């Protein structure tokens, strides 16, 4: 059975999934790279990286995934929709290697990249987008790639089966929060926490349906 998964979504201790002031040169705004430094230190990221707890979690990002859904804010900085040549922030060979559905009011023709990634642009509800992505995934799982607003929208509609959030020991103070409007979310998930020596706490949410 195909399930819907979130992996490696990094938030600050005060719950922000990105900083304030996102731009073409600062995809995470004033947060810079601080939400993802733990990831850059893993073997997943580079051959001489750490193979410990953080690596064990981050390695689960790719296997079994047949499609990704992401928000317009992950695909590009504010205003990307006015740049006809914008193809995302990941270069010619993005690290997805599957169809990727970008949820946005600013649709454009699909963009085929190297390495199996094709960006498709959908103006649709989370449930509608999920139906399209599931079909494309052909029985494999669908990853909800972020950012915070999109994950929040899928959580609010009860569409996420498994979620891994990495809580990074920094305080951002401002940006886009993950948890707003999700009071009581814990009631429908079995939640486990794993502390890493890096200072990151990995929290997994597995839907119970209760």
Among 4, 5, 7, 10, binds ligand NAP (CB under 6 A): 10
**Does 9 participate in binding ligand NAP (rule CB under 6 A)?**
yes
* Straight-line distance from the first to the last Cα atom of the chain, in angstroms, rounded to the nearest whole number: 19
- The Cα–Cα gap between 109 and 102 comes to 11
**Does 35 participate in binding ligand NAP (rule CB under 6 A)?**
yes
CB of 138 to ligand NAP, least distance (A): 24
Tokens found for residue 107: 């649709």
CB atoms within 10 A of CB 67: 25
CB of 166 to ligand NAP, least distance (A): 7
> With CB under 6 A as the contact rule, which of the stretches 40-48, 67-75, 111-119, 189-197 interacts with ligand NAP?
67-75
Residue 166 near residue 10, CB atoms below 8 Å: yes
**Does 121 participate in binding ligand NAP (rule CB under 6 A)?**
no
**Does 96 participate in binding ligand NAP (rule CB under 6 A)?**
no
Peptide bond into 147 cis (omega under 30): yes
- The Cα–Cα gap between 194 and 54 comes to 10
- Could you tell me where the DSSP H helices lie in 69-157? 72-75, 126-137, 148-156
Q: Which residue of this chain has its Cβ atom nearest to ligand NAP in the complex?
A: 147
**Does 5 participate in binding ligand NAP (rule CB under 6 A)?**
no
**Does 88 participate in binding ligand NAP (rule CB under 6 A)?**
no
Give the residues lining the site for ligand NAP (CB under 6 A). Answer: 9-10, 17-18, 22, 27-28, 35, 71-74, 103-106, 126, 145-150, 153, 176
């Amino acid at each position: 059975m195909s399930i819907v998964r979130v992996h490696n979504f990094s938030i600050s201790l005060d719950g922000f999934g990105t900083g304030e002031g996102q731009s073409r040169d600062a995809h995470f705004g004033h947060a810079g790279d601080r939400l993802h430094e733990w990831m850059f230190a893993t073997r997943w990221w580079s051959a001489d990286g750490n193979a410990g707890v953080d690596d064990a979690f981050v390695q689960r990002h790719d296997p079994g995934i047949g499609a990704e859904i992401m928000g317009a804010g992950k695909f590009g900085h504010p205003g990307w929709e006015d740049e006809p040549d914008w193809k995302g922030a990941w270069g010619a060979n993005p690290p997805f290697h599957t169809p990727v559905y970008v949820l946005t009011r600013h649709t454009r023709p699909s963009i085929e990249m190297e390495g199996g990634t094709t960006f498709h642009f959908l103006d649709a509800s989370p449930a509608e987008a999920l139906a399209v992505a599931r079909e494309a995934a052909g029985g494999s799982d669908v990853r909800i790639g972020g950012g915070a607003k999109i994950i929040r929208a899928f959580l609010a509609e009860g569409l996420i089966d498994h979620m891994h959030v990495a809580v990074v020991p920094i305080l951002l103070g401002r940006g886009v929060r993950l948890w707003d409007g999700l009071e009581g979310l814990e009631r429908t998930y079995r939640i486990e926490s794993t502390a890493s020596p890096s200072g990151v706490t990995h929290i997994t949410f597995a839907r119970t349906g209760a």
